[in-house]
Amino acid sequence: MSEMPWQALIDFADPHSPDPRAGRLRAAFGAPARVLAAHRPQELRPLLQTVEALARQGHWCVGYLRYEAAAAFDAAFALHPADGPLAWFGVHEAALPWPQQIDMPQQERPALGWQAGLTRAAFDASMARIHHTIAEGGLYQINYTTRLQAPWRGDARQLFGALRQGQPDGYAAFIDAGHEQVLSVSPELFFDWQGGQLLARPMKGTAPRGATPEEDAAHAHRLRTTPKEQAENVMIVDLIRNDLSRVAQPFSVRVPQLLRTEALPTVWQMTSDVQARTRAGTTLAELFAALFPCGSITGAPKVAAMRLIHALESTPRGVYCGAVGVVQPGGNARFNVPIRTVVLRGGMAQCGVGSGITADAQADAEWDEWQHKLAFLDTLASRLRS
């Protein structure tokens, strides 16, 4: 796999198709003809304007934004200094044939020894502070996360292949930016923007898969009907409806799907659809300014949640919880929310995990949820230890 000529890969589901394997956007790319990077907040909007202009001229633009790129859109957002470029895009003149090797079962699975950046005692202390802040009326929900790290010296493409085989059918992307490699097998759509039609699909609410069909169905039913899980999802739907309204035509924002359960290999997840028609002349930069970062990985209200995130999380999130995606020739754009994502840099692998915390969230249940979400790494010898 290391001899493949591609440096970037997009394997995104068609969010408008009921079959996650039908109509997928699959494209491979070689070395970019041009690289665009923003290192300071004031550089980000011009970069996105350039990305959109080049796409409308017929280029493919594949890249990502760090969570800390939010500094370019609202000075009220509390953020740590970024650990890399706020945004990075490779500009490509054409797509390469799909590399069939990436679909082949792997004989060997890479093994990583993950080290958690958070003890159970620190987690419990943060939960107590979150509950106090909610009780005082400071916010309704926060998405609290941590980072795991592991030494890495192997083939990034082989690692991506293993991750993708364990987490198929979502919004997978591999991007080799030179200084770092982004390996995202995220199941969550950030937004899909085509011809003025905008779709966001926030993912909030998680349950483990069952060992039997009966147990599996019971877990899915519990996810759909538990008030805590419903509230967690609906709060974010309301936030994203408000975000979309900033670029939407009047009265066009709607929620055609609410509280839908989706079966992933290791967990059940609950999603909702929020749609709108964007106003004439809306730009990609304006779209990101309205939506970024995705409310599903901040909490509500967004500014207050991000302020508490900054206080509780001592390191930048980086690409995790930012956006990874592609702007296609003509201007259509599709980005994921990079959860279930590994970033390789400087001989280390980093991966984030988190969950939405509401007033009735319990520490034991949330800690278990983190374990369930990390199951996508199980083939890589991972586990978060208390």
Q: Would you give per-residue pLDDT tens digits along the chain (386 residues)?
A: 444 579 999 999 999 998 888 899 999 999 999 999 999 999 999 999 999 999 999 999 999 999 999 999 999 999 999 999 999 999 999 999 999 888 877 666 677 888 888 999 999 999 999 999 999 999 999 999 999 999 998 899 989 998 998 888 999 999 999 999 999 999 999 999 999 999 999 999 999 999 999 999 999 999 999 998 999 999 999 999 999 999 999 999 999 999 999 999 889 999 999 999 999 999 999 999 999 999 999 999 999 999 999 999 999 999 999 999 999 999 999 999 999 999 999 999 999 999 999 999 999 999 999 988 988 886 554 433 43
The pair of three-digit structure tokens given for residue 77, joined into one six-digit string: 């957002």
Domain that holds residue 348: 8-380
Write down the pLDDT at residue 298.
98
Query: How confident is the prediction for the chain on average, in pLDDT?
Result: 93
In the chain the first and final C-alpha atoms are separated, in Å, by 35
Report yes or no on 3 lying in a domain: no
Is 373 noted as a catalytic residue in this protein? no
Q: Residue 19 gets which letter from DSSP?
A: S
Whether 232 is catalytic: no
Which CATH number is 274's domain given? 3.60.120.10
What integer pLDDT is reported at residue 304 of this predicted model?
Answer: 98
- Note the pLDDT of residue 384: 38
**Total number of domains in the chain:** 1
For the chain, the residue count is 386
- Per DSSP, the three-state class of 38 is strand
**From the candidates 68, 204, 229, 366, which is the catalytic residue?**
204
Domain-located, residue 274 = yes
- Residue 385 counted as domain residue: no
Q: Which residue type, as a one-letter code, is found at position 381?
A: A
70 in a domain, yes or no?
Answer: yes
> Roughly what angle, to the nearest 10 degrees, separates helices 363-373 and 120-135?
120
Is 257 among the domain residues?
A: yes
Q: Is residue 24 part of a domain?
A: yes
Task: Note whether residue 144 is domain-resident.
Answer: yes
Give the active site residue among 188, 232, 286, 369: 188
Task: Please give the pLDDT value at position 383.
Answer: 39
- Domain annotation covers residue 2: no
CA nearest neighbour of 268 among 301, 238, 229, 312: 229
